[in-house]
Structures are given as C-alpha cells and as structure tokens.
Amino acid sequence: MRRQVPLLVIVLAAVFALQTGAAASLTTTAAVVGAGTSAVSACDGDGFTFRHVIDTDGRITTVSTTGIHASCAGGTLRVTLVNGTANVGSGSVVLPSSGFTGTADVTISPQPLSTGVTAVHAAIEGP
C-alpha cells in the first residue's frame, strides 16, 4: 500500500498538468473593450410634470406626464415607481414622431398602492 500512495499522487499530478496544459492551449478571441466620455444632450432641459392616476383600490394604474418638449418626439418615455430602493412598478410608452403634443400616459405594471410609492424616476431614451 505504501508504494501505491506515491504512485497515485504522481498519476493525479500528471492528470492535473494535462488538464491545465489543455486549457492553456485554447484560443480565445477578445472583443474590443474601451472607455471614454461623450456629451449626451437632453431633449427636454427643463423637465416635465407627473400626475398619478389612482383607481378605487388606491393603486397607481397610470402616470400622466405633461410638459415634454417637442424635441423628445420619437423617443421612449420610461417611468419607474420606487419605494426606497425597491422598484414597485414601471412602464414605458413610445412618444409619437409626428403630432406629438407634449403629453403621454404610461401604464404601470404591477400597480402599487399609492401609499407605497416614495419616488418616481423617469427617462426618455432617444430619439
């Protein structure tokens, strides 16, 4: 038995070395990784106004938004309702490219109780 233990150790070391060698010989292709900064212009510099639409159960079903600048037409308005750091409801709507009046209604899902919402976060992506 004494002789078999060193032999077992040698065999295991050889197997480990072969696996490491095989992994080292694999070819990989790296994607380009970069960093930098870029100015991002806002389509609405003075912000917009929110109004919650609340159903008879006290849940926010829709967030009505007004005062959106015409240059945001064609973008997507995303609204997230939060309680502390937890997202409790969200929704999005594409702002029409033509005939945009500066208002949008965003349907919220799931529909949280209005008493459980501490803040509204909104962003317009695009156009």
Give per-residue pLDDT as tens, 52-76: 999 999 999 999 999 999 999 999 9
The structural domains of the chain, with segments of one domain joined by +, span 49-125
* pLDDT for the residue numbered 23: 47
The yes-or-no verdict on residue 10 having pLDDT over 80 is no
* Residue 116 DSSP label: G
- Name the nearest CA neighbour of 123 among 89, 90, 76: 76
Higher pLDDT, 20 or 75: 75
User: Which pLDDT does position 22 carry in this prediction?
Assistant: 46
Residues 6+ apart with CB under 8 A from 60: 52, 53, 54, 81, 89, 108, 111, 112, 113, 114, 117
